[in-house]
Structure 1
């Protein structure tokens, strides 16, 4: 079983923001694989189903970004997961807009949601899909991540969301190394 966690913030005011691209990928997978993400459990919205005959749990933590680890820890404890069974999808300002970076493990970098997960589960040995949202030209970083994509970037990001979903499917069916070879760079 794989637990696929998309990071974001709950609430309509955050829908469509750069910080919520993890939620957007979960929504895409939910629709594509007919896995409704509508059960409230583990401090999140979850949906159970299958991707290519592999059981998956799609998760959108409802704890707000900086406490995402609380939701993930509850899931890990309940299902007795190894970290390798967890896949986290999140926005990254250090990756160019519209690009993907898949890694099998690693630090949280500057991302507070990832810091929370790594702290709570006491491991950084899990696959992650980082989605580039670009760096702000100037101004406040929090304003940038909580802003919506401009019209010129929306089409590119729609493609990127689909590519991130394909990367997740590849991790589930072929492994993280295959996804890295196919989608990085």
Structure 2
């Protein structure tokens, strides 16, 4: 059992924004796996992927970013999972655009959605895939920046980054070896 949670804000107005990198990654992963987000449960849209004998839940919380922990907690409870079964995919303004940083545990950092997940799961011991979004920030206030649309000049690097993140999650499920996946995918794109 694994629960893969992509963070973002639901609704058309947030599509294509920096803060929706988690949603974009899981949508790419679902496309790669030929599964659809068709179920609403645990304050999330979910898709189920079966790999060998393991059930993998892909989840897009529908709580808005800062309350993502509510969905994470409900998913863990419903599927009788542990926090160690969870992988959270999300944007990180502290990393350069195009950079992936996978970690087996850690704090919520400056990300309010992650802080809420840490608080409501009661632990920092869950895996995370951080997608860097910092390069174009400039002097724009943080909230305005993360809710702004990705500019055309960054679309190619963002597309490549979300594809790599989806591939990393898929590789983790297939190998059950997060250390290996960290070695393969951490860092900037290898063009």
Same fold (TM over 0.5): yes
With 147-156 and 4-13 compared, the bigger mean Cα shift is at 147-156
Q: How does 1:58-73 map to 2 (within 5 A)?
A: 58-73=58-73
For structure 2, the 5+ residue unaligned runs are none
For structure 1, the 5+ residue unaligned runs are none
Residue of structure 2 equivalent to 1:180: 182
Deviation by residue 1:69-115 (Cα, 9 ceiling, x = unmatched) = 00110111111212121000000000110110000000000000001
* CA-based RMSD: 1.2
Q: Secondary structure at the match of 2:172?
A: helix
Mapped to 2, the partners of 1:52 and 1:153 lie a distance apart of 37
TM-score (norm 1): 0.96
1:5 aligns with 2:13: no
Q: How does 1:79-90 map to 2 (within 5 A)?
A: 79-90=79-90
Aligned length in residues: 185
The structural deviation recorded for 1:51 is 4.5
Mapped to 1, the partners of 2:154 and 2:75 lie a distance apart of 34
Divergent runs of 4+, >6 A: none
Residue of structure 2 equivalent to 1:76: 76
The structural deviation recorded for 1:149 is 1.3
With 75-84 and 125-134 compared, the bigger mean Cα shift is at 75-84
TM-score (norm 2): 0.93
